[in-house]
């Protein structure tokens, strides 16, 4: 029995997988069980932020594995303290909660926002609705699916969680109309990744902060995909000069290990007290060690500037291709709209040619490792452009 056959005989078919069995990886190259190499422009959907087996990342993770793999959250660990301190410093936030995924981080943010309004305005006010944006994506738990503003996800799993209202992205009047007295927070992505790599306008982001500020409505910025340096800044919202009340992160923040964080500012960082929330593996020492390796890169402004420059380099190269209609996104988070070809056909053909890329809606989506070399970028783009021109 092949690996794929054995896999499918025991694992639920919840993903549309390609016929590729990953065996290993080094830097920006993945290697399958037959020894074929692939340039990776997807980095585990933006999670392998330093590629495969980055030397410093490996050393930190292995050192921690040999020291302490896990302990209960009834106790303290220095590595989780160091990671939290550094991440708060880099994001301008006050405190954080550790989980294991973006969905967990967003669940925490939802609970935190509702508890803030409950404490301040009382149960009788029913100030518990959260505005999210149409075309958004916030996770796959029942609450975060309910928060997700895409009808395609709102099926099968009834009843969904009440208390979410969708606003059209970049529509300021729609936002104002739905900011009623029962709203406690607005949750948004600066770039809607799963929604098609669609960027919010600076005017709309300004309006979110202005209108929420008038009403004591919390701002929740979902940086699960856009954070950890992906757009050329530690957080994408920093490109707009704003600091939200709550920020959620996951994916690339630990370089490939499962972690999720919900960060809060001084206004609401102590809302959740003992016993109100928890996560068995949250703040796992090994994951925090991987996270420290990532943060050491993110505190280097030159590294982040290079991410932005690489993104623009890829943009220029691809816009010269006749098949490319439009490119959206920032830094190394790019969505490519094609003129005639289907994105699904292109990624299948690229796989055959040794390049791993992603889709988002009807677009190609690129999320390469942040430390990818220009040489590897050129090799990958050569494959992609030749595939588009076939």
Same domain, 32 and 89: no
Q: Which domain holds residue 80?
A: 68-298
Per-residue pLDDT at 263: 99
- Is the CA virtual torsion 243, 249, 251, 255 positive or negative? positive
Per-residue pLDDT at 69: 98
Same domain, 163 and 183: yes
Three-class SS state of 358: strand
Same domain, 37 and 148: no
Give the residue carrying structure tokens 């999670």. Answer: 47
Per the structure, the count of domains in the chain is 2
Same domain, 124 and 253: yes
Per-residue pLDDT at 374: 98
Whether residue 134 is contained in a domain is answered as: yes
Per-residue pLDDT at 156: 96
Q: What is the CATH number of the domain that holds 41?
A: 3.90.1150.10
Per-residue pLDDT at 21: 98
Token duo for residue 172: 């300021």
Q: What is the CATH number of the domain that holds 214?
A: 3.40.640.10
Token duo for residue 5: 């056959």
Say how many C-beta atoms besides its own lie within 10 A of residue 351's C-beta: 16
Same domain, 117 and 171: yes
Torsion of CA 197, 344, 346, 363, to 10 degrees: -20
List pLDDT tens digits, range 137-168.
999 999 999 999 999 999 999 999 999 999 99
Mean pLDDT, residues 52-72: 98
| Confidence class for position 370, pLDDT limits 50, 70, 90 | very high
Same domain, 25 and 128: no
Single residue among 231, 263, 298 that ends a domain in this structure: 298
Say how many C-beta atoms besides its own lie within 10 A of residue 168's C-beta: 15
Per-residue pLDDT at 349: 98
Whether residue 60 is contained in a domain is answered as: no
The answer to whether the beta carbons of residues 315 and 305 sit under 8 Å apart is no
Say which residues have a Cβ less than 8 Å from residue 3's Cβ, sequence separation at least 6: 21, 33
Whether residue 62 is contained in a domain is answered as: no
Whether residue 352 is contained in a domain is answered as: yes
Per-residue pLDDT at 237: 98
Mean pLDDT, residues 285-295: 98
Same domain, 121 and 165: yes
For residues 12 and 6, what is the distance between their CA atoms, to the nearest angstrom? 12
For residues 252 and 49, what is the distance between their CA atoms, to the nearest angstrom? 5
Single residue among 235, 269, 298 that ends a domain in this structure: 298
Per-residue pLDDT at 259: 98
Same domain, 235 and 366: no
Mean pLDDT, residues 228-232: 98
Per-residue pLDDT at 112: 98
For residues 179 and 165, what is the distance between their CA atoms, to the nearest angstrom? 9
Whether residue 186 is contained in a domain is answered as: yes
List pLDDT tens digits, range 29-38.
999 999 999 9
List pLDDT tens digits, range 113-133.
999 999 999 999 999 999 999
Mean pLDDT, residues 12-27: 96
Task: Supply the pTM of this predicted model.
Answer: 0.97
Q: Which regions of the chain does DSSP assign to beta strands (E)?
A: 22-26, 29-32, 37-40, 95-99, 129-133, 164-167, 183-188, 191-192, 198-199, 218-222, 246-249, 260-264, 324-330, 333-338, 355-356, 358-360, 363-366
Give the mean pLDDT of the chain: 97
Mean pLDDT, residues 19-39: 97
Mean pLDDT, residues 358-370: 97
**Beta strand 333-338 pairing with 22-26:** unpaired
Q: What is the greatest pairwise CA distance in the chain?
A: 63
Same domain, 222 and 350: no
Whether residue 63 is contained in a domain is answered as: no
Single residue among 272, 298, 324 that ends a domain in this structure: 298
Whether residue 192 is contained in a domain is answered as: yes
Buried b (16+ CB within 10 A) or exposed e, 82-108: ebbebbbebbebeebbbbbbbbbbbbb
Q: What percent of the chain has pLDDT over 90?
A: 100
Same domain, 50 and 79: no
Half-sphere exposure (Cβ direction) of 304: Cα atoms closer than 13 Å: 20
Token duo for residue 145: 């699916």
Whether residue 264 is contained in a domain is answered as: yes
Same domain, 223 and 306: no
Same domain, 319 and 259: no
Main-chain phi, psi angles of 54, to 5 degrees:
-55, 135
């Amino acid at each position: 029995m092949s690996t794929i056959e054995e896999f499918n005989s025991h694992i639920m078919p919840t993903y549309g997988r390609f016929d590729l069995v990953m065996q290993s990886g080094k830097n920006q190259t993945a290697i399958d069980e037959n020894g074929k190499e692939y340039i990776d422009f997807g980095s585990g959907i933006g999670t392998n932020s330093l590629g495969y087996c980055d030397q410093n990342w490996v050393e930190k993770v292995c050192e921690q594995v040999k020291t302490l793999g896990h302990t209960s959250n009834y106790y303290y660990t220095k590595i989780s303290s160091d990671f939290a301190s550094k991440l708060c410093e880099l994001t301008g936030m006050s405190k954080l909660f550790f989980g294991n995924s973006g969905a967990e981080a967003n669940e925490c943010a939802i609970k935190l926002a509702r508890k803030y309004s409950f404490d301040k305005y009382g149960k009788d006010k029913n100030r518990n609705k959260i505005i999210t944006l149409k075309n958004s994506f916030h996770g796959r738990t029942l609450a975060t699916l309910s928060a997700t503003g895409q009808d395609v996800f709102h099926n099968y799993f009834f009843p969904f969680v009440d208390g979410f209202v969708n606003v059209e992205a970049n529509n300021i009047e729609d936002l104002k109309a739905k900011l009623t007295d029962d709203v406690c927070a607005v949750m948004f992505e600066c770039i809607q990744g799963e929604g098609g790599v669609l960027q919010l306008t600076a005017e709309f982001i300004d309006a979110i902060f202005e209108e929420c500020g008038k009403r004591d409505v919390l701002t929740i910025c979902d940086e699960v995909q856009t954070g950890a340096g992906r757009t050329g800044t530690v957080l994408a919202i920093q490109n707009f000069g704003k600091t939200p009340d709550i920020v959620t992160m996951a994916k690339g923040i630990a370089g490939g290990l499962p972690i999720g964080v919900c960060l809060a500012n001084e206004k609401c960082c102590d809302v959740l007290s003992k016993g109100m929330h928890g996560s068995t593996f949250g703040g796992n020492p090994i994951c925090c060690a991987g996270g420290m390796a990532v943060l050491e890169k993110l505190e280097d402004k030159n590294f982040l500037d290079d991410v932005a420059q690489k993104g623009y380099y890829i943009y220029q190269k691809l816009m010269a291709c006749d098949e490319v209609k439009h490119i959206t996104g920032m830094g190394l988070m790019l969505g490519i709209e094609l003129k005639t070809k289907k994105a699904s056909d292109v990624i299948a053909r690229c796989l055959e040619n040794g390049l791993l890329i992603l889709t988002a809606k009807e677009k190609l989506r690129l999320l390469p490792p942040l430390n990818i070399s220009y040489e590897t970028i050129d090799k990958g783009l050569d494959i992609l452009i030749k595939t588009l021109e076939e």
